[in-house]
Amino acid sequence: MAQIIKGRKFANVQGDFVVFLIGMRVNNWLMIHKWFPVAMAMPKMIKELYKNQLSGFMGENSWFGRTTISVQYWKSFEHLEAYAKNKDMEHFPAWKAFNLKARQSGVVGVWHETYKISQGSYENIYVNMPLFGLGKAGSVNEAVGKNEHAAGRINNEQ
C-alpha cells in the first residue's frame, strides 16, 4: 500500500509542462478479442516510460473500468509527440495494431486530450494522500504561509 503523507501538501513543477489524458472505452464487452489487446497495450507503455528517464515522461495515474483513463505528465508536447511517433517504442506498434484490427469495428473506442500548462497557471492540494497526480510527477511542498490557500498556490513560482 502506498505511504500516506500526512498534512496539507501541494505539488510544484519547475517550468512549463504537459498534462495528457488518454484512455479507451469498451463498447461491446462480448467482443473481448477486439478490446482486450487495446486494454493490454497501455500498461506496457507505462512500464516502458518509467524505465526511460530521457523520454520526458514525468509520471501518471490510471483508473480502469468500462472507460479507462491515464492522466500523464510530460516535460513538453515535443517529448510526448516524440514518444508517440517512435517506431522502436511500445506506442507506435500498438497504435498501428488498433488501426488495423479494431478501429473500424466500433467495439472499442480510444481518446486523448492534451493540455500545455504554463508555470504559475495551476494549483493543487493533497491532504493525507500518498504521492498522487502532479505530486507524483513534481516536487511536494508544505501548504503553509502564502501557499496555504489556492490563491497563493496558483501563482507559485517556487
Asked whether the beta carbons of 91 and 83 are under 8 A apart, the reply is yes
pLDDT by residue (tens digit) across 84-93? Answer: 999 999 999 9
DSSP 85-130: H-TTSSHHHHHHHHHHHTGGG-SEEEEEEEEEE-TTS----EEEE-
Adjacency order of strands within the sheet including 5-12: 126-129, 5-12, 139-142
Q: Residue 12: name the closest of 152, 150, 137, 146 by CA.
A: 137
User: How many degrees, rounded to 5, is the angle at CA 77 between CA 36 and CA 115?
Assistant: 80
pLDDT by residue (tens digit) across 126-140? Answer: 999 999 999 999 999
Q: So what's the pLDDT on residue 103?
A: 85
Asked whether the beta carbons of 14 and 120 are under 8 A apart, the reply is no
Residues of the chain with pLDDT under 50: none
Q: So what's the pLDDT on residue 98?
A: 87
Q: So what's the pLDDT on residue 158?
A: 54
pTM: 0.92
